[in-house]
Amino acid sequence: MSVFILPQSIVKEVEKLCRLFLWGASGKCSKLHLASWHQVCLPKAYGGLGFRDGASWNIALLAKYVWAISEKQDLLWVKWIKVIYLKGVNFWNCVMKQDSSWYWRKLCHLRSKFSKREVLAAGISGKFKPSKLYNSTINQQLVEYKNAIWGRTILPKHRFLLWQVVNSYLLTKDNLARFNIQLNRLTCPVCEYHLESHNHLFFDCCHSKRIMSFIFAWLGFQAWSSNYNDWVVRLNIGQSGIMDSILNLVLAAVIYSIWRNRNKCIFYGYSLTASCIAKEVITLVKYRLYIVHNRKISPQHKLFIRKLQCN
C-alpha cells in the first residue's frame, strides 16, 4: 500500500480477512455483529477500534510522495520529477500530459483526494505522518471514554468487550430480536425473569447485583453507579487519575466475568455463584495491580493498593 494503489478487489479481500479475524467466522462469512466496519475503522479517540479503511489508508500512505514533491525534498527521484514533469511548475498546478507514465498520473490524481494544506500539515519535523493525514478526513466527534476503556491497566480482551458494552454492541437477546432471529425465550438466561438487555444483564439482574455487592465490599466503597446510563456518563467524564484507572480495571473485569457467565448459562446450562465470580475478579485484579507499582503515585494511593492486595 505504501508503493502502489491496490485494486479494490484486493483491498476488499484484505478487509474481509480482518473482519473474519475480529468477529470470528461461520463458513466464509463473519459471524453476526452490530458494529459497522466504518465504526471499527475509526481511531480509538473517535469511538472505533483503530482498524484502517483499506482504500483511504492506501491513499494516505501514497500521499507521502506528494508531500516529498511539495516540500522539495533532497531526494534523487524528486529532482528527476522536477526536471522531467514539473519543469518549474508547481506540482499542484501542473497539467498531466498524454504521454505521462501510469505512476505519475496516479500521483497527480491524488490531488483530488487531499488538499495541499492537509498534505503539508501531515509533515512533522521533516517526516510525513500518514496517520495524521488519514485522521484529518474523519468527520466524527471525539469520544470522552477513550482513556477509560483503552487504559493500559485493563486487560486487552476486557477492553474489547468494554468497548462493545459502552456502544451497546453485544448480542444480547433484545438486540438479536431486532434481526428477527427466532429465540425460544427473550428472558435473561441467568435470572430467567426479565428481558435480557445491556442494562439488565450488567446492572439490574439479581445475580449481577450480588456480584457487585461482593466487589463493593472488597473495595470499601461504591465505585460506580448501578445504572447503565449513569455508568456510561461516568466513563465519558474522561478522568485519567490512578484511582480512576483502578476502578476502570475492576469494572472491566466484572463486566467481562458477567458476560462469560451469561454465555455459560446459554451454551453449557450452568451458572457460577456470585461469590465464585467475585473471587475470580478480585484475584485477577490483585495480580493486575502489580503493574501500577512502577508508576509514580502518592503514598496514599500505594497504601490503598496494598490494602486491596491484602484483603
Q: How far apart are CA 167 and CA 48, in angstroms?
A: 10
Please give the pLDDT value at position 137: 83
Rounded to whole angstroms, what are the CA distances from 18 to 12, 23, 33, 194? 10, 9, 14, 36
Query: What residue spans define the domains of the chain?
Result: 8-136, 146-310
Place of cell 473471587: 279
Please give the pLDDT value at position 54: 92
Q: Where in the chain does DSSP place strands (E)?
A: 25-26, 29-30, 123-124, 127-128
Please give the pLDDT value at position 30: 81
Q: How far apart are CA 145 and CA 140, in angstroms?
A: 15
CA angle 126, 128, 131 (to 5 degrees): 145
Question: Which parts of the chain have pLDDT scores under 70?
Answer: 238-240, 293-294
Cell of 150: 483503552
Q: Among candidates 168, 139, 156, 232, which has minimal Cα distance to 35? A: 168
Sequence-distant (≥ 6) Cβ neighbours of residue 143 within 8 angstroms:
45, 46, 47, 236
Would the pTM count as exceeding 0.75?
A: yes
Q: How far apart are CA 118 and CA 132, in angstroms?
A: 9
Please give the pLDDT value at position 240: 66
Residue 212 burial by Cβ neighbours in a 10 Å radius (0-12, 13-18, 19+): buried
Please give the pLDDT value at position 172: 94
Cell of 175: 438486540
